[in-house]
Amino acid sequence: MTTSTAPRLAVTMGDPVGIGPEIIAKAFAAGALDDALVVGDVQVLRRGARAAGLRLPVAWLERPEDVLRCPPGALPVWQPPGLPAGLAQLPWGQIDARAGAAAAACITAAAGLARAGQVAALVTAPLHKEALGAAGVPFPGHTEMLQALCAEGGTLPPVRMMLANEQLRVVLVTIHMALRAAIEALDTPGILQTLRITHRAGQRFGMPAPRIAVAGLNPHAGEGGRFGDEEIRLITPAIEAARAEGIDARGPFAPDTVFMRARHAPDHPGEFDFVVAMTHDHGLIPVKYLGVEEGVNVTLGLPLVRTSPDHGTAFDVAGQGVARADSLVAAARMARRLIGLR
């Protein structure tokens, strides 16, 4: 377990030629990462601080535990062994296999710290899927990579992606696959498993009986089978099984209105605590429409806490000093909340 003096969060640098290093520097300078250890390339983080226009000292730590001796006001960076050389000389905003390999190595190292109890949670800056592929990394993103890193005895833990802000929490049954493949992948056991994972996540948020709305797949949730029968064949049986286990799951509801019903606004308390959506864009468009600045990606079902900003590497503005750190700050705040350090 971490001690009260140890860093509670490990922050990975993300793709070194994206906006990750810059927003990490900005969030630290704003006091939002005082309890964090950055896992990344020291020169990359120094370049990120310069891009952000900050005179920020960056401390090079030989070991993660050296963070306890880091000078006050310095960004503590542990550089894991084996990172490619010359990362800080790579052009901003260009896909590079070395950048993808470095991002993956930092995720692996940070997950190791969390699994060993040296940190209490991971906050991951954005990576680039094409750069991962160029490096030969066999995973399309953080979720799948962390799932593999947390496998026990060859068995992958069942995980789900949640995107959340102060107004909506949305959990996905399927994530990074073609829409046709996602629809074909839907089945009652998978939907039921998503409801169980969501229920446990709600309890971790301090909700004894979280209210879960289930969005249908088809227009009007199938309209009694007129517009598709997935609601009848797959989704309703999962809801009924979840309710038999004491889970407050309801639906399936028409996906074009359920998010409005679940939204928590100052003048409109939501009817639900979570919405479970069947496919990636079905669920994420409503959350992102409300603003990516405060959105947080949370991986549910892992034996560790992992959060991430609700945006990508933003190669088009990388190195220009204009990237905002709001979503990274929100991700750190969410991680603390999930580990009970509100």
User: What integer pLDDT is reported at residue 6 of this predicted model?
Assistant: 56
Do residues 272 and 251 lie in contact, with contact meaning Cβ atoms separated by under 8 Å?
no
Predicted confidence (pLDDT) per residue in 215-267, tens digit: 999 999 989 999 999 999 999 999 999 999 999 999 999 999 999 999 998 88
Q: Tell me the mean pLDDT in the region 299-318.
A: 93
Residue 26 has pLDDT above 50, yes or no: yes
In percent, the amount of the chain with pLDDT more than 70 equals: 97
Q: Residue 329, CB half-sphere, CA atoms under 13 Å: how many?
A: 16
Identify whether the C-beta of residue 43 lies closer than 8 Å to the C-beta of residue 58.
no
Query: CA quadruple 188, 284, 298, 105: dihedral positive or negative?
Result: positive
Domains (range + CATH), the chain:
1-158+303-342 (3.40.718.10), 166-290 (3.40.718.10)
Task: Give kind and range of the element (H or E) at residue 287.
Answer: helix 280-289
Residue 233 tokens read as: 């064949």
* pLDDT tens per residue across span 29-70: 999 999 999 999 999 999 999 999 999 999 999 999 999 899
CA distance 79 to 77: 6
Give the tens place of pLDDT for each residue, 111-156. 999 999 999 999 999 999 999 999 999 988 888 899 999 998 889 9
CA atoms within 13 A on the CB side of 88: 14
β-strand partners of 78: 39, 61
Is-cis flag, bond preceding 309, omega within 30? no
The answer to whether 313 and 24 are in contact (CB under 8 A) is: no
Distance of CA 104 to the CA centre of its chain: 15
> What 8-state DSSP symbol labels residue 12?
E
Question: Which is higher by pLDDT, 329 or 176?
Answer: 329
- Least reliable range by pLDDT among 227-236, 245-254, 291-300, 319-328: 291-300
Phi, psi for 75 (deg, rounded to 5): -75, 115
> Is the pLDDT at 84 greater than 90, yes or no?
yes
Provide the token pair at 314: 């933003």
Three-state DSSP at 131 gives helix
- Strands 274-277, 305-309: pairing kind: unpaired
Q: What is the pLDDT of residue 342?
A: 44
E strands along the chain, which residues? 9-12, 36-39, 58-61, 75-78, 121-124, 160-164, 169-172, 212-215, 249-253, 274-277, 296-300, 305-309
User: Is the Cβ–Cβ distance between 283 and 172 less than 8 Å?
Assistant: yes
Summarize the confidence of residues 279-284 as an average pLDDT. 92
